[in-house]
Structure 1
């Protein structure tokens, strides 16, 4: 049976917890082993070897590696046969490969560290809970299924749970449901339909939502990957990797260069062989020299500097985007972003905070400097007379995330 159905007493008995005292230390360890810790399973970060492997798999890099191997083989053959070997071209191609790979690995490594730092922002969330008959403060990761949590206005819900008690409780679920208006919650609400949508489960609280008003007590029913947010994260983590338009174009260019290079080499080799036969001068040394010349022609048509130029250009784009607070995981993705003309995005809770903040006040004149509102008291009766008089004439606006720490008066 789903957690939002049935009686609270049956649910408490199933989870082995007490509504007035919470879990005992032994029960905490038992539930942690049984239900898991309250943390999302994160994908293992790519190692240096994996990032190098991905960079080497780029079509143009593969073509450069093949050209380098061919050039190296030709020069080794010429050295063995007494010919003139020139390893300078081999060194140049290798340097081009090395520069392109290093730039890609370093830039993507910096972006990965930035994303990891962002994912740890909410790791230090602390909430009140009942443990062994006492009220304690717990870190989010220390919460287990069956814990009794005490939540009030402004708290972030750290796990999914069933309400046991509530008083004037409303919750901002915009991050989960997209609804900008806080949802009313009621611990006494009985739900009998197991197909009730998440947004209509009035007796449940979910991870990542915020208490907009009131207070309540809940029993944790799901933690970590078992929460609604955890299920969403798991589905997003299973997406398949796709190639970007730039990768497709470079792969197509690589195929064209390879085709024309091999065709030109074959034509040159055929012409030389026909010349030898026409002049009755067909010898093994001549055939080998014609073959080496044809192979060198394949190397000559490869644009050694193209991958390095592309990597440098994309790196510059990533740096410019980072200065505008935009992070890009993959180097080649910055080119895709540059092709975007229209972005369709949710506004409330994404572009705006869905929190009302004071933008100005009036005391015979409009002011936008909030330092003039002093003292910042919540009780209107304690405000100066002219503040009370014009309290209904304040201007409010939805502020973007950068105003997160602005004081709400």
Structure 2
């Protein structure tokens, strides 16, 4: 697309980053299923390897199909650039990699996907990194958790599993005062419902596996850089501000300016960590994004109706959907995600743990899977699956207590979904 008019979201989700194939005129982005790319000559090869010229070398680093997806997601998020990788978990490590070092820490929300809690509380310790878990509704606690070794703050815009909405702007202000980046996982919200960069976030991560692809076919992740953080303003981020030995002393912040973080993610992150997205996955995700706004509208519409129905059902103790007036997060919906509170939430079943298990086994339309963001409606009992490795206290803090199930509301006929839940609740609470 040209740099002319400012296009709307519905146009950008179809066209951003894509151009007719110059060799064939193909209108849909081709799947460039290749490992390597031929150099024009020796000087061209040297320029590419020296980061003096942008181009394709090897598909662990860059691929034309993946490049279109990167540009499209960056455009939809309002970022300067993006790096796609093999999964959402890979994206989280990619996001932290340029920022952290042994002995450094990241302040993270207690309300995170269970796998993220495990990654941050256990796995990153093997790199010598640490995570401090804080309730992000307590802004004073967030401030108090930051110390001289803190290098980032991490939270989810709409938290998985409970659908809790984060006050992104308030936490971004804290990050700015501390001179560190705020990283927002925008998987559950998508840029259609919420654009974290507009609320002060520095970096945005996605599991593209979920709503962006929307059809449950491929895994993937993405890190979007706002391009607005000054990495050279302090000595906290030497990977970006100091000379890089692998590139003859090149300084990423000095050389690439607003794209410093993005180029580091490719030239160092993908080069050395190798968490590459394959072009087939990028192709599926590009096709999914073309209908993102249409799907999200139906997801939200269905979720709102089902959450209200569940809240009024005597077999249900409570519902966490932020789109309900009873939710303590209802007041944030207008500012954080004015197009809707998403389609992911939990509800508590009377009868506790055993009733939850019977519920998921009694459903017909809802699929019992460890995924979300599909066109199909999905359900899972987090305490016995995705959050099983956590302590009871961590489960409670994350919104995955033993008596709740998580639902990802799809785009089916809402009356069919309600009837399915009605039958299963009768079986579970009989």
TM-score relative to the length of structure 2: 0.18
Larger radius of gyration: 1
Q: Which structure shows the bigger proportion of residues in helix conformation?
A: 1
TM-score relative to the length of structure 1: 0.18
